[in-house]
């Protein structure tokens, strides 16, 4: 299949022009090869992932996280990344967290570029709310500086979204679900913040990328894991 045809499918759902100005999206490495037969999909391109792709004779790697430096040794394989454009996309990284919870009693709204807001039909206790994320991340942690007993309106942002705590609060959220929460940010948080981990919040995007690639080509998931050991 022509690699540019595949990229057009991805960019139809996650247009590159919606990416943040600082973000590096699109082709990280673009070879002269046009037809590809096997693609490796990953969260982050590393030496180990490139080695896997070569062992499994992949012609291309599609990742979520972009590269800001590309080793010359990787120049023989096409590498494409969809980052903040995929974060903002309908059905993108943040939406996959909500989908993974298999909720059936809530209302979804989009009131912010990066945040997804859901309203539960009824109040959910903090204990029940945090427990919802055990299936996504075994290392869930949260802060509750105000001693909130229950939540109803919740904001979601995959990856490193703790910078949006104030935005979530301004939108009326009782809680924000994200990853990469830092100590002082947690200390100052005025709403409940659930940190499910950066890796855990985004690794579930890989099936979405596979679906966007479509049929007619073999897609292999890279073997990846969080760098953190608990």
Nearest partner of 178 among 207, 142, 153, 148, judged by Cα: 142
The pLDDT confidence band at residue 31, using thresholds 50, 70 and 90, is very high
26-29 and 78-81 strand pairing: antiparallel
Is the predicted pLDDT of residue 220 greater than 90, yes or no? yes
Task: Give the pLDDT of residue 151.
Answer: 98
For residue range 209-219, what is the model confidence (pLDDT) as tens digits? Answer: 999 999 999 99
Q: Cα separation of 221 and 58, whole Å?
A: 11
The strand ranges marked E within 10-57 are 26-29, 38-42
Q: How do residues 122-145 score in pLDDT, each as one tens digit?
A: 999 999 999 999 999 988 999 999
pLDDT of residue 84: 98
pLDDT at 165: 98
Consecutive H or E run containing 150: strand 150-160
Tokens of 204: 């579930």
DSSP 58-113: -SEEEESS--SS--GGGTTSEEEE--HHHHHSTTSHHHHHHHHTT--SEEEE--SS
* Percent of the chain surpassing pLDDT 70: 100
According to the model, what pLDDT value does residue 139 have?
87
Is residue 59's pLDDT more than 90?
yes
| Per-residue pLDDT band at 229 (split at 50, 70, 90) | confident
Predicted confidence at residue 104, as pLDDT, reads: 87
CB atoms within 10 A of CB 115: 22
Share of the chain above pLDDT 90, in %: 97
Which run of H or of E encompasses 186?
helix 183-188
> Are 222 and 42 within 8 A, CB to CB?
yes
The number of CA neighbours under 13 Å toward the Cβ of 220 is 18
Mean pLDDT, rounded, for 199-218: 96
Q: Which residues on adjacent β-strands are paired with residue 143?
A: 193
Contact 113, 93 (CB under 8 A): no
Question: How far, CA to CA in Å, does 176 sit from each of 49, 82, 191, 199, 216?
Answer: 32, 24, 7, 17, 39
Full set of structural domains in the chain with CATH: 3-88+203-221 (3.40.1390.30), 94-198 (3.40.1390.30)
| Tokens at 187, concatenated | 């200390």
| 9 confidence band (pLDDT: 50, 70, 90) | very high
Average pLDDT, the chain: 96
* pLDDT single digits (tens) 78-112: 999 999 999 999 999 999 999 999 998 899 999 99
């Amino acid at each position: 299949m022509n690699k540019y045809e595949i990229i057009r499918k991805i960019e139809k759902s996650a247009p590159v022009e919606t990416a943040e100005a600082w973000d590096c999206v699109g082709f990280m490495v673009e070879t002269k090869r046009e037809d590809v037969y096997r693609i490796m999909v990953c969260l982050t391109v590393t030496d180990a992932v490139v080695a896997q792709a070569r062992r499994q004779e992949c012609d291309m790697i599609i990742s979520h996280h972009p590269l800001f430096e590309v080793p010359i040794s990787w120049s023989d394989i096409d590498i494409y990344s969809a980052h903040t454009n995929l974060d903002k996309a309908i059905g993108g990284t943040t939406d996959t967290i909500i989908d993974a919870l298999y909720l059936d009693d809530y209302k979804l709204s989009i009131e912010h570029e990066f945040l997804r807001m859901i309203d539960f039909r009824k109040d959910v206790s903090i204990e029940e709310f945090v427990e919802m994320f055990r299936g996504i991340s075994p290392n869930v942690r949260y802060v509750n500086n105000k001693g909130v007993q229950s939540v109803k309106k919740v904001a979601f942002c995959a990856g490193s979204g703790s910078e949006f705590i104030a935005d979530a609060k301004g939108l009326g959220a009782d809680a924000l679900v994200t990853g990469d929460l830092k100590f002082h940010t947690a200390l100052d948080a005025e709403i409940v913040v659930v940190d499910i981990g950066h890796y855990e919040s985004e690794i579930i995007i890989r099936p979405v990328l596979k679906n966007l690639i479509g049929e007619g080509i073999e897609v292999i998931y890279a073997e990846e894991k969080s760098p953190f050991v608990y």
